[in-house]
Amino acid sequence: MDAIRTRTEELLDVARVLLLMQGAILIATTIESLIFGGIFAGAAGGPVFMSGAAAALILVTRARLRADRRWTRRIVYGVETVALVFLAIDTVLAVALTGALPPMVALLTQLVLPLSVILLLRRSARSARAPLVGATLARSEGV
């Protein structure tokens, strides 16, 4: 077993854990919207489809996330950006309709989780490129 782990692998491991947690939250949201869509009349298919598709994308990209795969990072960036846009819409609607912010736990979960994943993926991409530059410079200087 290789005990030496790079910083990129460690950052990606933390991102995978956060994506797993976010996927679990999205699955719970999908089940909740399915139940409430069956009980109450209205647009039952939209919320179920959106949260189900987001959960599937998050969990699939989590399983395929590696430092050398740019397309998985791009998919995660896209899903996280959509999550942040929906947070902004939900917050504006909550303030406009009720005059109060949504509960703090919901705001933190919907804001901090996507931002953390985006920042971790960006840092892992930077740290994956950094050793190559340093090794090339060291070789060119004759060290």
> Can you give the residue range of the structural domain that contains 79?
7-122
In a domain, residue 32? The reply is yes
- How does pLDDT run across 5-36, given as a tens digit for each residue? 778 888 888 988 998 898 898 898 888 888 88
Q: What does the pLDDT read at residue 140?
A: 53
In a domain, residue 83? The reply is yes
**Can you tell me the mean pLDDT for 103-118?**
89
In a domain, residue 143? The reply is no
3-state secondary structure 84-101: HHHHHHHHHHHHHHHCCC
- What percent of the chain has pLDDT above 90? 17
- What tokens does 71 get? 């397309």
Q: Provide the mean pLDDT of the chain.
A: 82
In a domain, residue 80? The reply is yes
Number of domains in the chain: 1
51/49 Cα distance (integer angstroms): 6
Confidence tier at 107 by pLDDT (50, 70, 90): confident
Spatial CA neighbour of 123 closest among 64, 67, 78? 67
For residue 101, how many C-alpha atoms fall within 13 Å in the half-sphere facing its CB? 8
Q: What does the pLDDT read at residue 2?
A: 56
135/139 Cα distance (integer angstroms): 6
